[in-house]
Chain A
Amino acid sequence: AQSVAQPEDQVNVAEGNPLTVKCTYSVSGNPYLFWYVQYPNRGLQFLLKYITGDNLVKGSYGFEAEFNKSQTSFHLKKPSALVSDSALYFCAVRVQKTSYDKVIFGPGTSLSVIP
């Protein structure tokens, strides 16, 4: 089955420390992967995507993600966390079948950056 998983419901990190939010996927064919962020009472905002090419993708607000084909992972990273990074983060993957072509979202990981 094609799916995306975020193994951690909650990630806590101290301000200034590096952060990682994990994502693993299972799709057939080449994966198209996305990260979105949701701040309280707001819609999701696009952070970055991997389509092809360099395994390290840079995105908005200093975030980056590393695509690892052998581990089927696409972890989100930031070298130095800010309190304002506290939000809900969603990993998403393109799922393609004969009858449809759509994106599915993981369950989300709540990130808390502690001052």
Chain B
Amino acid sequence: DAGVIQSPRHEVTEMGQEVTLRCKPISGHNSLFWYRQTMMRGLELLIYFNNNVPIDDSGMPEDRFSAKMPNASFSTLKIQPSEPRDSAVYFCASSWDQSTGELFFGEGSRLTVL
């Protein structure tokens, strides 16, 4: 059974460039979460979706960040323009019930902005 699939696994880009991170949740899961992990701030929830609808995006740092979930099997997190402080590991997680806390994580996308 495939788990949560994220791409790319690693991305190195220059400041000002657009970055798009992709996530395919586990089939049948109806909730999807985007997290950011850094040494300084730990694991931060950026946004989560339930049945493809964004429920809470209060964790999105600023307008440079946007997330979409056009269908139940795909989500994107976009940063435009990117800045060096956006360097982090971005995790996508999915769940069949957003309230239980049982999340299934992808392996993450490591972003480096030079």
Partners in one complex: no
Residues of A that sit less than 8 Å from B by CB: none
Residues of B that sit less than 8 Å from A by CB: none
